Structure formats: C-alpha cells, structure tokens
C-alpha cells in the first residue's frame, strides 16, 4: 500500500507542487534547512540515549527495606474466605428475617 502512495506519478506531482509553492530559488534553502533539522534531531537523540545509558549504569538499587513483623491489633480477627462468606450469609439471613417481622 505504501508503494502505491509513493508511486512515480505521485512523486512527479509532489515535486511539481513543491516547485510551484516554494519557487525554484527557494528549493536549495529548503533542502538545507531540512538537512540541518535532521542532523540536529539525530544529534539530540544520540545525546539523550547517551545520558539515559549513563544514568542507568550509575543508578543503584536501594536495598529492600526490612519491614517489622506484622503484629495483629487486639481488635482484629483473622478469618478465612469461606468463614467470612458464611458469616456474611448468616448476617444477611438475620437481616431478611428481621425485616419480615
């Protein structure tokens, strides 16, 4: 599909449109500006990659924090999932029976 977009007919029309829009005398300046912008972009990209690789190499991973053992509070209860489901079901039954009265 890309080959159809950049076919010979399209390329000729594109060149004619650029010449008409910018004029023959402006084309060298345009090409120079496009080339310098491309070089500047590649230079900035290389600097960014170099800076990233430097910071990645010098970055140290902090040691894992040692957490104290969890101490359950006096008001906390540890139950399994099945026990919790049974308790919720019994509470729902109580609620339903009390609302029927």
State mean pLDDT over 48-57: 82
95 alpha-carbon distance from chain centroid: 48
Q: Is the pLDDT of residue 37 over 90?
A: yes
Residue 80 counted as domain residue = no
Q: What is the pLDDT of residues 4-29, one digit of tens each?
A: 667 778 888 888 888 888 887 888 88
State mean pLDDT over 59-69: 60
Residue 54 counted as domain residue = yes
Three-class HEC string of 13-27: HHHHHHHHHHCCCCH
What phi and psi, each to the nearest 5 degrees, are found at residue 59? Answer: -70, 130
Residue 94 counted as domain residue = no
Q: What is the pLDDT of residues 65-93, one digit of tens each?
A: 555 566 556 667 778 899 999 999 999 99
Domains of the chain: total? 1
Q: What percent of the chain has pLDDT over 70?
A: 75
Full residue range of the structural domain in which residue 7 is found: 2-58
Residue 90 counted as domain residue = no
Residue 72 counted as domain residue = no
Tokens of 40: 């500047």
- DSSP at 75: T
């Amino acid at each position: 599909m890309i080959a159809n977009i950049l076919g010979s007919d399209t390329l000729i029309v594109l060149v004619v449109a650029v010449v008409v829009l910018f004029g023959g005398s402006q084309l060298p300046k345009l090409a120079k500006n496009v080339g310098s912008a491309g070089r500047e972009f590649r230079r900035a990209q290389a600097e960014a990659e170099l800076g990233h690789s430097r910071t990645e190499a010098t970055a140290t991973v902090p040691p894992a924090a040692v957490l104290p053992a969890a101490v359950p509070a006096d008001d906390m209860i540890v139950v399994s999932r099945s026990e919790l489901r049974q308790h919720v079901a019994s509470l729902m039954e109580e609620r339903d029976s009390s609302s029927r009265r």
